[in-house]
Copies of this chain bind each other. A is one copy, B any other.
Amino acid sequence: MPAKTVPPCPFAPMRPSYLSRDDEFFMKLAYNQALKAWASGEVPVGAVVEYGGEIVAAAHNMVESARDPTAHAEMLAITQTAMKLGGWRLNGATIYVTKEPCPMCAGACVMSRLTRAVYAVEDPSMGFLGGAMKFHDLSTLNHSLQVSSGVLREDCLKMLKTFFALKRNMDE
C-alpha cells in the first residue's frame, strides 16, 4: 500500500503526562507511533518498549515502506531494544503495542525473553496472545511471558476501524 492510496489521518497525537508512567502512559506513546505508521502509508500499528521505567524503543509498522514482511512494529521495537540493552535477552522489558501481536511477533516476544506484553486491541483471527491462540500458555515454552490486554482499547480500536473504513471508501 503506497502512501498515496492511504486516506488522510483524522486523529491527533496524544499527550500523556510523564509524571505517571503506568500502562496507559506507555500505550499512548504506542498510539502516537501508530499515527506515524498511518502518516507514512502503513496500517496503523505502533509499539514502544519500557525498561526500568524508561522508553528504550519506539517503532511502527513498516511492511509497505520497507517492503519487508517482517517489519512489524513489534519486531522493529524488539530489535531496537536489543541494540539498546546490548544483548538479545530482554528480560525485564515490557512491550506495548496497539494491536494484539500476530504469530510472528508473539513468537518474537517469547524468543527475546521479554517479561511482559501489553496490547490494546484483541485480534480473534490472527492474535496469538489470547485472541486466536494463547501462545504464551504453551506448556513446552521455556520462557514465561506475562500478558495484559485492553489498555487504551477504545482509542486504538477506533483508529484501526477508521483507517480500514476510509481505506475501503478510497479503494471503491
Contacts and interface: CB of A to CB of B under 8 A. Distances in A.
A88 to B, nearest CB: 4
A88 B71 CA distance: 9
Contacts of A112: 69-70
A108 interface: yes
Interface in A76-107: 78-79, 82-83, 86-90, 102-107
Interface residues of A, number: 40
Interface of A: 63-64, 67-72, 75, 78-79, 82-83, 86-90, 102-108, 110-113, 124-126, 128, 132-133, 135, 138, 140-142
Given A69-B82, A71-B88, A106-B107, 9 more contacts: A64-B88, A67-B88, A69-B78, A69-B79, A70-B108, A72-B111, A103-B135, A104-B108, A124-B140
